[in-house]
């Protein structure tokens, strides 16, 4: 009987509920469901601004229910960027970070207080120091920083081809200025955080023993090595000293490997007017500039013993060619026969000057007063190594002073490599030097790993 009374009481209570109370209950249920949906919805899911919003039912008090507080989006994980994005410069063996100098960001770390960004860290050990920022050095540097090697490039800004207005035969860059090619190559190299560039003339290189690693307490946990921190076998380092130019300071750098890519210095015959037209009407590279001289009356001027071979090559572009020996270079009977068979003339009288006007070269004036009309031609300079590497490192050279290397670019000194015009056969096209730089870079990377 008591059970029936309680049931009737409940029924009576339900029956007495007003419509407003029912509306309040529905409002609470709707708010609860909306809160649950807001939490479950992804943080980046956005509702269109013009989507129709359902009207909220009134509460028992006649006021609209307060909407639930929006859920806070979850924190995004930090983005780690690899590759060419130069947001920070790795610094030192522990790979601490320095700001990108080009971005103007400041280094606020305690260790950096009182130090300018341009000041090098004397304790930093580079993987490779590249001497020379020509095609060979830049190509090697680009490939090495892409292998995550810490690379310092030192350059004295004395390119052999500085007088040349256009270079040819470089894939995708035919006709580009050699100076512009160097500029583009340096920008690509410095785009990577592992790259450092310094304008300086190298004055000395010496080998030193790598100091033993400092012992660490057994309780401490060693830091995980970076992928590029592997060291070559041995434990020998190189100290490279250089004198700053164009406002750059002197620098001493320590490295595990050295790449010599300085190219050559060239000396032209001492003739009045020869530099006036060098790089425009007179050139030194037949493969580079022969096409632009096609079918023109040309001169080949030189004082070395390889003029006959060069003249035979030039006859591919013009059949109006005269070899000027300046009374110094000698041709044997066999060479003269070969030249005569190709219709190439030989002029042995000394040269007085190179003649021309504002329009360009017009001829070669001889010491006896006669002038032989020529509109352009080629010069055979005398090429010599840019630096005394024998005195610095004791590396082996050939009879021409060029660095002797194996097919991988290794010199006679372990850890020292060479590429480009400073190796036999000497001066070549820019694209050839760039290819050698890429090849030697691969060998250096293997050397640093210890598999070469």
Q: In a 10 Å sphere around its CB, with 0-12 CB exposed, 13-18 middle and 19+ buried, how is residue 48 labelled?
A: exposed
Residues of the chain with CATH 3.50.50.60: 120-210+231-265+384-449, 269-380
Cα atoms found within 13 Å of the Cα of residue 24, Cβ hemisphere only:
10
Q: Which two tokens stand for residue 22?
A: 């029912």
User: What does the pLDDT look like over 120-165, one tens digit per residue?
Assistant: 666 789 999 999 999 999 999 999 999 999 999 999 988 777 777 8
Per-residue pLDDT of the chain (452 residues; tens, 9 = 90+): 444 334 444 344 434 444 444 455 455 545 554 444 444 444 443 344 444 444 444 444 444 444 555 555 555 444 333 334 443 444 333 333 333 333 333 333 333 333 333 466 667 899 999 999 999 999 999 999 999 999 999 999 887 777 778 888 898 989 888 889 999 999 999 999 999 999 999 999 999 987 765 544 444 444 444 444 444 445 789 999 999 998 889 999 999 999 999 989 899 999 999 999 999 999 999 999 999 999 999 999 999 999 999 999 999 999 999 999 999 999 999 999 999 999 999 999 999 999 999 999 999 999 999 999 999 999 999 998 888 887 888 999 999 899 999 999 999 999 999 999 999 999 989 999 999 999 999 999 999 999 87
Predicted confidence at residue 68, as pLDDT, reads 52
Distance of alpha carbon 186 from alpha carbon 167, whole angstroms: 17
Which ranges of 226-376 does DSSP label H, i.e. alpha helix? Answer: 286-289, 307-314, 333-341
448: exposed, middle or buried (C-beta count within 10 Å: 0-12, 13-18, 19+)? buried
Residue recorded with tokens 């790259």:
195
Closest CA to 372 of 352, 358, 389: 352
- β-pairing, 236-244 with 298-302? unpaired
pLDDT given for residue 267 in this prediction:
92
DSSP string, 190-212: HTSTTEEEEEEEEEEEEEEEPPP
Distance CA 283, CA 271 (A): 15
Long-range contacts of 82-88, Cβ-Cβ distance < 8 Å, separation of 24 or more: 84/191, 84/192, 86/190, 86/191, 86/192, 86/193, 87/193, 88/193
Pair type for strands 371-373 and 360-366? antiparallel
The pLDDT of residue 120 is 62
In terms of Cα–Cα distance, which of 55, 79, 77 is closest to 65? 55
Of the candidates 311, 375, 317, 294, the one whose C-alpha atom is nearest the C-alpha of residue 345 is 311
Pick the CATH number of 120-210+231-265+384-449 from 3.40.50.620, 3.50.50.60, 3.40.50.1100, 3.40.50.12160: 3.50.50.60
Question: Distances in Å between the alpha carbon of 209 and those of 28, 213, 220?
Answer: 79, 12, 27
Query: Which of these, 450, 6, 49, lies nearest to 234 by C-alpha position?
Result: 450
50, two tokens = 């013009």
Asked if residue 209 lies in contact with residue 253, where contact means CB atoms within 8 angstroms, the answer is no
Which CATH fold would you assign to the domain 269-380? FAD/NAD(P)-binding domain (3.50.50)
Where are the strands (E) in 319-425, listed by range?
321-324, 345-347, 351-357, 360-366, 371-373, 376-380, 382-385, 416-418
Nearest residue to 189 via CA among 67, 345, 84? 84
């Amino acid at each position: 009987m008591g059970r029936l009374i309680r049931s009737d009481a409940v029924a009576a209570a339900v029956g007495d509920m007003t419509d407003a109370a029912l509306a309040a209950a529905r409002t609470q249920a709707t708010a609860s469901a909306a809160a649950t949906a807001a939490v479950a919805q992804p943080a980046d899911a956005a509702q269109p601004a013009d989507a129709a919003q359902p009207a909220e039912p009134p509460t028992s008090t006649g006021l609209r229910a307060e909407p639930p507080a929006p859920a806070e989006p979850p924190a995004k994980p930090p983005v780690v960027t690899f590759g060419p994005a130069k947001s920070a410069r790795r610094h030192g063996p522990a790979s601490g970070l320095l700001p990108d100098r080009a971005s103007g960001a400041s280094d606020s770390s305690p260790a950096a207080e009182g130090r300018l960004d341009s000041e090098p860290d004397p304790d930093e050990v580079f993987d490779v120091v590249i001497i020379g920022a020509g095609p060979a050095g830049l190509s090697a540097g680009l490939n090495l920083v892409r292998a995550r090697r810490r690379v310092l490039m030192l350059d004295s800004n004395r390119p052999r081809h500085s007088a040349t207005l256009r270079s040819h035969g470089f894939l995708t860059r035919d006709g580009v200025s050699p100076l512009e090619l160097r500029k583009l190559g340096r920008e690509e190299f410095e785009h990577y955080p592992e790259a450092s560039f310094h304008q300086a003339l190298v004055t000395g290189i010496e080998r030193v023993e790598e100091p033993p690693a400092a012992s660490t307490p057994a309780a401490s946990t060693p830091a995980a090595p970076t992928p590029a921190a592997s060291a070559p076998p041995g434990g020998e380092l190189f100290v490279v000293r250089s004198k700053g130019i164009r406002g750059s300071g002197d620098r001493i750098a320590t490295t595990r490997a050295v790449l010599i890519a300085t190219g050559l210095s060239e000396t032209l015959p001492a003739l009045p007017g020869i530099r006036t037209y060098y790089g425009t009407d007179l050139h030194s590279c037949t493969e580079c500039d022969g096409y632009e001289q096609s079918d023109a009356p040309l001169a080949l001027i030189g004082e070395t013993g390889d003029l006959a071979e060069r003249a035979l090559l030039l006859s591919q572009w013009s059949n109006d060619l005269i070899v000027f020996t300046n009374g110094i270079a000698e041709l044997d009977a066999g060479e003269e026969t070969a030249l005569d068979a190709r219709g190439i003339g030989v002029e042995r009288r000394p040269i007085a000057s190179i003649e021309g006007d504002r329009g360009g070269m017009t001829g070669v004036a001889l010491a006896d007063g006669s002038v032989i009309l020529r509109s352009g031609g080629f010069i055979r300079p005398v090429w010599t190594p840019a630096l005394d590497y024998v005195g610095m490192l004791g590396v082996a050279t050939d009879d021409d002073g060029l660095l002797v290397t194996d097919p991988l670019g290794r010199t006679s000194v372990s850890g020292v490599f060479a590429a480009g015009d400073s190796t036999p056969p000497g001066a070549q096209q820019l694209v050839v030097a760039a290819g050698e730089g890429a090849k030697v870079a691969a060998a250096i990377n293997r050397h640093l790993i210890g598999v070469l």
